[in-house]
Chains A and B, each alone.
Chain A
Amino acid sequence: MERYCPEDEIVELARGRLDPDARQAVAAHARECRECAALLAGEEALAAGLRALAAGQQAEQAPPALEAALGMAFRERAAKPEPAGARAVGRVLISLVTWRRAAALAAASLALVACLLWWRAQPAAPQGQGVTAGPPARPLPQAAPQRPAEAPPAATKVAQARRPARSASKRRITKPPADEAQQAGSESEFVVLPGTPPWALQDGARLVRATMPRSALVSFGLPVNAERAGQPIRVDLILSEDGVARAIRFAGQVETQERRRK
């Protein structure tokens, strides 16, 4: 007569999920059945390996910063519940902001490095050049009319981004500082830099005026006239609370010594 081998129960026995009666019966069978004994040995080894893996990862936790960020998101949500129709858009923004933030960080870092290098290379920089951080001389302009009701929560601050950045042109929400405006020496409107979440332009943002070579605009994704790439320009930067540049506008030509001589 063919013997019944309770394979499923043997797997459960190895995982410690059988009730005492069944455990006894299945163990008794495994002692007599060579194939089931081998199966049980293998399953027990596997279960032990999986338990060891679980134990080794038991201490794994989400980073502490995530709790604070989610707390902010909760408060935002509690303060102004989204209308149902805005949820989908809000979700999209939340998912996008993780990589946009990285793009903004990269662009801002590049610009600041370029600015610093250029500034240090100027032997007789006229007064007023360089980054002049401090209290804003005037109220911050409304640089980012990005529908606050759909603002992604600050939880995204801690997310890691691994996606490629988009060009700045896709994020322009105001008129960009065209070369004509630069030539005319007038102030342009602010251009929000890629990866800027709406919260970055609300709390704790500050205005900073800086002087930089035109070529540094490339790192912000802005067009540059190659012939005048080396000329200095003055820009206003809006920095978010964490010191990251979030928006930029052209603030006029820098009158260099050479230009003055002309």
Chain B
Amino acid sequence: MEPPEQSDQELLRLMLEGDEAAFTALYRRRQGAIFRFALQMGGSRAMAEEVTQETFLTLIQEARRYDPARGSVAAYLYGIARNQVLRRLDSEKASAPLEPRENDQGAVAAGLAAGDDLLGSLLGREQVERVRAAVLALPARYREVVVLCDLHEIDYAEAARALDCPIGTVRSRLHRGHRMLAGKLAARPRAGFCQSRSLAALVATPQAADSDTPVEGCSGGL
């Protein structure tokens, strides 16, 4: 029988005592999420690597500053990663690229193919890339909430701890972010297109999204 999995906090405690195996276990458990968070926030694999590195270096150096009363270890790591991402975005003064990068595009496609994901096959690579580009085009304060709550599916309380803001702020930013995303995804080349129809096309066929036929009874917009 396998030994019970140690909690993040237990691993952190052992790590503080100098247990490298505990650090490695914690790293392996959390590095993927941190890397993806940075990738989804910044759109750059290189930045994601740097942020992951800096996040865990910070953990190595400042783990004693972690306060369990203020949230989980995961939220703590997300918080560090978020600060690293924002610092880089600020210093580079460049918004994330809207065009998918070659490597990242390939990775998304490979992930869809390898995962035999039903949604992925329904939506197709093009639609997924549109969603990805729309998320990257959101202002950072909305993007981080969408990435944490929607893409990483962490609850509002955890997101609030990671972002160091009230839960109500997380909720309102998430809803606002959804509105903005809906607007970006509905902004097809043909003007005057019904947003609901365009959004619905995300889960329908690509041809439907290109149709000029207005949806009957659509009042235009979400």
Complex Cα spacing A8 to B173, Å: 12
- Do A59 and B107 touch (CB < 8 A)? yes
- In the complex, what residues of A have CB within 8 A of residue B23's CB? 70-71, 74
Instruction: Count residues of chain A with CB under 8 A from any CB of chain B.
Output: 55
CB distance from B145 to the nearest CB of A (A): 12
Closest to A8 in B: B175
Known: A82-B61, A87-B61. A57 touches B108 (CB 8 A): yes
- Do A49 and B109 touch (CB < 8 A)? no
- In the complex, what residues of B have CB within 8 A of residue A54's CB? 150-153
- Do B128 and A53 touch (CB < 8 A)? yes
A240 at the interface (CB under 8 A from B): no
B49 at the interface (CB under 8 A from A): yes
CB distance from A250 to the nearest CB of B (A): 36
A160 at the interface (CB under 8 A from B): yes
Complex Cα spacing A69 to B48, Å: 16
B28 at the interface (CB under 8 A from A): yes
A62 at the interface (CB under 8 A from B): yes
CB distance from A15 to the nearest CB of B (A): 7
- In the complex, what residues of B have CB within 8 A of residue A74's CB? 15, 20, 23, 60
Complex Cα spacing A59 to B2, Å: 25
- Do B150 and A50 touch (CB < 8 A)? yes
Interface of B is mostly: helix
CB distance from B138 to the nearest CB of A (A): 12
- In the complex, what residues of B have CB within 8 A of residue A75's CB? 20
Task: Tally the A-B contacts, defined by beta carbons under 8 Å.
Answer: 179
- Do B219 and A44 touch (CB < 8 A)? no
A42 at the interface (CB under 8 A from B): yes
Q: Which A89-113 residues have a C-beta within 8 angstroms of B? A: 90-91, 94-95, 98
Contact partner of B60 (CB less than 8 A), chosen from A51, A73, A160, is A73
Known: A42-B195, A60-B39. A11 touches B178 (CB 8 A): yes
B193 at the interface (CB under 8 A from A): no
- In the complex, what residues of A have CB within 8 A of residue B89's CB? none
B191 at the interface (CB under 8 A from A): no
Q: Which B106-132 residues have a C-beta within 8 angstroms of A? A: 107-112, 114-115, 117, 119-120, 122-123, 127-128, 130-132
- Do B53 and A158 touch (CB < 8 A)? yes
Complex Cα spacing A39 to B218, Å: 11
- Do B31 and A55 touch (CB < 8 A)? no
Known: A55-B120, A155-B57, A159-B49. A67 touches B27 (CB 8 A): yes
- Do A57 and B117 touch (CB < 8 A)? no
Complex Cα spacing A48 to B131, Å: 10
- Do B185 and A46 touch (CB < 8 A)? yes
Known: A38-B222, A42-B222, A56-B108. A62 touches B35 (CB 8 A): yes
CB distance from A136 to the nearest CB of B (A): 32
- Do B199 and A45 touch (CB < 8 A)? yes
- Do B61 and A90 touch (CB < 8 A)? yes
Complex Cα spacing A58 to B203, Å: 20
Closest to B115 in A: A55
Contact partner of A41 (CB less than 8 A), chosen from B112, B200, B219, is B200
- In the complex, what residues of A have CB within 8 A of residue B35's CB? 60-62
- In the complex, what residues of A have CB within 8 A of residue B62's CB? 87
**Would you give 19 A-B contacts (Cβ < 8 Å), ordered by A?**
A11-B174, A35-B219, A41-B199, A48-B119, A48-B123, A49-B128, A50-B146, A52-B128, A55-B111, A55-B115, A55-B120, A56-B107, A59-B107, A70-B56, A74-B15, A78-B18, A78-B20, A87-B62, A160-B49
Known contacts A38-B218, A57-B108, A71-B23; 5 further A-B pairs (Cβ under 8 A): A50-B150, A57-B36, A58-B36, A62-B48, A87-B61
Residues of B bordering A, CB below 8 Å: 15, 18, 20, 23-24, 27-28, 31-32, 34-36, 39-40, 46, 48-50, 52-54, 56-57, 60-62, 107-112, 114-115, 117, 119-120, 122-123, 127-128, 130-132, 135, 146, 150-153, 171, 174-175, 178, 181-182, 185, 195-196, 199-203, 217-219, 222
Residues of A bordering B, CB below 8 Å: 7-8, 11, 15, 34-35, 38-39, 41-63, 66-67, 69-71, 73-75, 77-78, 82, 87, 90-91, 94-95, 98, 153, 155-156, 158-160, 162
